[in-house]
Amino acid sequence: MVSWVEKMEKDFMRILKNSFWLGLLMISGCGRELTDDFIPITSFPDIVINLSFQNGLQVDGGTLAIDGGVRGIIIYRIDASTYIAYERNCSFRPNEACATVDIHSSRLFMIDSCCGSNFSFTDGSPTGGPAWRPLNRYRTQLSGITLTITDEVIN
């Protein structure tokens, strides 16, 4: 006759074995690719923008896509004194030709239509899709009506 201790040990070992195979399955194809390519970084001269001429950045939540960086830059206005600049190079498989983030037509988030990843405007973190790293964020400095974006990545 099997004691309750032996039965518990047997059940525990069965659970561990099933958990191992489930974890292996997730790592081998059903989970996120946590080892994909390094996100490219490039040097560029400071970008200086006169905000009085940028209609997209006149209201809180406003956005603007500009040239610069690796694949371009998306600027997001949190409020009149806070602007965030994100690299448009998607953080998931960033070396693929189509790995470019755009402003979604709803203007509520950013999207890479190639891999289907969505990103938050507030911190650049992924909110859907296979991306697991945030977008690169560039340093911004506001002086009066002039916004300066540098090539320094701050995340």
pLDDT tens digits, 6-27: 655 655 555 545 554 434 334 4
The model's pTM is 0.77
Residue 137 is inside which H or E element, if any? strand 137-143
Q: Residue 134: helix, strand or coil by DSSP?
A: coil
Query: What pLDDT does 151 receive?
Result: 97
Residue with tokens 């956005």: 63
90-142 per-position pLDDT tens digit: 999 999 999 999 999 999 999 999 999 999 999 999 999 999 999 999 999 99
pLDDT in tens, 38-62: 889 999 999 999 999 998 999 999 9
Torsion, CA 154, CA 82, CA 140, CA 117, rounded to 10: 50
